Amino acid sequence: MKRRIRAALGTGEMSVPAVADAIGLPASEVMWWMMGLVRYGEILPTGRTDGNGYRTYRLPQEGES
């Protein structure tokens, strides 16, 4: 699951619903996984929102966590 989420975010910053659509899973399940990835610094919140008001997330840059 981590690999699928990270692959989706490899195309650019995305919200939880956008990642869920990209990998074909329910947003509730993707949210659970993404919050774990945020907790351990594997993905980062951008501080921005998408057009629907959902926060967006991205992969960290080299050396960033």
> What digits encode the pLDDT tens for the residues 5-49?
999 999 999 999 999 999 999 999 999 999 999 999 999 999 999
Distances in whole angstroms, Cα of residue 62 to Cα of each of 14, 30, 35, 41 = 19, 24, 20, 12
Tell me: pLDDT of 63 over 90: no
In total, the chain counts a number of residues equal to 65
- For 2-58, CATH number out of 3.40.50.720, 1.10.1740.10, 1.10.1040.10, 1.10.10.10 equals 1.10.10.10
**Local confidence band at 65 (pLDDT 50, 70, 90 cut-offs):** low
Q: How many CB atoms lie within 10 A of CB 40?
A: 9
H-helix segments, 1-65: 2-9, 16-23, 27-39
- Entry pTM: 0.91
SS3 46: strand
